[in-house]
Amino acid sequence: MDIREKIVKLKKEKKAIVLAHYYQRDDVQEIADYVGDSFYLAQVGKESDAEVIVFCGVRFMAESAKILSPDKTVLFPCYTEAPCCMEYMASPEEILQYKEKYPEVKVVTYVNSSSAVKTVSDVCCTSSSVENIINNLDSEEILFVPDKNLASYVQEQVLNKKIIPWDGCCNIHDAIKVSDIERAIDENGKDLVIAAHPECKKNVRDMAHYVGSTSGILNYVKKSSSKRFLIVTEKGISHQLKKDNPDKEFFFLPMLCKAMKKVFPETILESLETMNGEIIIDDETVTKAAKALNNMLLFSKPRGE
């Protein structure tokens, strides 16, 4: 049996599913039962009747799956540290201090954060759900933790509320400069259609024809009649883009999230064989963080639905 067949057999035996983010290695995405953006994966994990979830992503994603489904076993098939850099950009103590000073302000926390930060947040969001969540939230003033770029993007979409940004960002998206886009256009042609993730800086987003989450970018490209695209997000998304659009041409910037590349078919197999890499979170954290994560699923529908 090859690795893939062994994984299929073990998944059946252990009632397991494999979830993978679009930034994962190509061979990991090919093994996964579900591939998606962070919102979709959180939803699939919670709704699935599997007993074991093998989460191929970064640490906060696997922890969120555990918090949303405390009765399931969640395996993180990754034996070196694989956190998103934003997991360190805010602390619960700092947020509690802020809340004490400004009790009327609601705290919306990007899922790309530690579980501890989620315990002191009112609601979590992802980039694909943030606009609906802010619109549905019963507050005019919102502290947005920790991504200042996503905060400024949301402020452009939601004009009737005040979004107060925390001072964090994704180091990979934030590093992209206007000159990088200009160079890509110079080298590859002015006809490039630009799609960017909202974790990019405002001046980069302003150059894009489309701004959205990983699934948003995939949908946009699929529907577009254009043939040549500059994709301004992590390069792992190229796997699904090429699968969906074999007739289109894609250009990328050197955007690599090392934390996303630490899962391999071999580690998935080993995890399923040994149950190594189980996510364990204390009950108090699970209970408190579950509120903000469940609110995310609840508030993510368009207002009025």
| Cross-strand bridge partners of residue 145 | 109
Find which of ligand 13P, ligand SF4, none residue 29 binds, CB within 5 to 8 Å per kind.
none
Binding of residue 37 to ligand 13P (CB under 6 A): yes
Token pair 């000159």: residue: 179
Q: Is 122 in the site for ligand SF4 (CB under 6 A)?
A: no
Instruction: Based on the shown chain and the rule CB under 6 A, indicate whether residue 58 belongs to the binding site for ligand SF4.
Output: yes
Q: How far lies 267's CA from each of 55, 257, 276, in Å?
A: 11, 18, 9
Residue 259 binds ligand SF4, judged by CB under 6 A: yes
127 binds ligand SF4 (CB under 6 A): no
- The span from the CA of 235 to the CA of 237, in Å, is 5
By beta-carbon proximity to ligand SF4, the closer residue of 237 and 269 is: 237
The residues in 91-120 that bind ligand SF4, with binding defined as CB under 6 A, are: 112
Q: Please tell me the count of residues contacting ligand SF4 according to CB under 6 A.
A: 13
Q: How many angstroms separate the most distant Cα atoms in the chain? A: 61
**Cα–Cα nearest to 164, from 83, 61, 90:** 90
Question: Which residue blocks in 111-260 are alpha helix, DSSP H?
Answer: 115-119, 130-136, 148-157, 171-174, 178-188, 202-205, 214-223, 238-244
Min dist CB 100 to ligand SF4, Å, is 29
- Asked if 131 is part of the footprint of ligand SF4 (rule: CB under 6 A), the reply reads no
In the complex, least distance from residue 156 CB atom to ligand SF4, rounded to whole angstroms? 19
Token pair, residue 104, equals: 């009327």
Place of tokens 């009649």: 225
Using CB under 6 A, which of 24, 114, 119, 213 touches ligand 13P?
A: 213
Binding partner at 127 among ligand 13P, ligand SF4, none, C-beta below 5 to 8 Å by kind? ligand 13P
**Residues that bind ligand SF4 in the complex, under the rule CB under 6 A:** 58, 84-86, 112, 170, 172-173, 199, 234, 257, 259-260
